[in-house]
Amino acid sequence: MTNEPPSIVTPNPPPEFLPANAFDFIPDLHALLLRVSREELELKDVDHESSHIRLKMEKARAMVANLPDVDRSLEEQKKEIRELEERIEKQRGMIKAVVEMQIVKDIIRRKGGME
């Protein structure tokens, strides 16, 4: 057995978030549908006029597909959440046990309490 402290596992850095405008195709789609319903746009021109909307949707779909863990099932995610919650509870218990140790109480008392 070594005297080295246990290694600290650092979590992966957080994923880059999707840009705020990643799903901004709804207003464009709404405007297109209004133009069609008001007969300001002929049906034969809808395909051409909607191409930029399709492009935005394809980009958004690709961004979502590249998010981490998107391929994991809901059950896998729930299991990981349960495991992490259990780990947190154990850590809280350990912290409470350390705080209750007499030597820690003495140190806190000597330092004038916790700030």
Q: Which whole number is the average pLDDT over 21-43?
A: 91
pLDDT tier at 16, thresholds 50, 70, 90: low
Using a pLDDT cut of 70, give the percent of the chain over it.
Answer: 83
Q: How far apart are CA 13 and CA 115, in angstroms?
A: 30
- How does the average pLDDT of the chain come out, rounded? 84
The domain spans of the chain are 20-67, 73-114
Q: How far apart are CA 54 and CA 23, in angstroms?
A: 11
Say what the pLDDT of residue 104 is: 85
The residue among 35, 66, 68, 71 whose CA lies nearest residue 53 is 35
Say what the pLDDT of residue 1 is: 43
Question: In this structure, are residues 94 and 104 in contact, taking their beta carbons and an 8 Å threshold?
Answer: no
Residues across the chain: 115
Amino acid identity of 48? Answer: H
Say what the pLDDT of residue 114 is: 54
Residue 115 has pLDDT above 90, yes or no: no
Say what the pLDDT of residue 12 is: 53
pLDDT tens per residue, range 60-101: 899 888 888 888 999 999 999 999 999 999 999 999 999 888
Question: In this structure, are residues 22 and 63 in contact, taking their beta carbons and an 8 Å threshold?
Answer: yes
Q: How far apart are CA 6 and CA 15, in angstroms?
A: 27
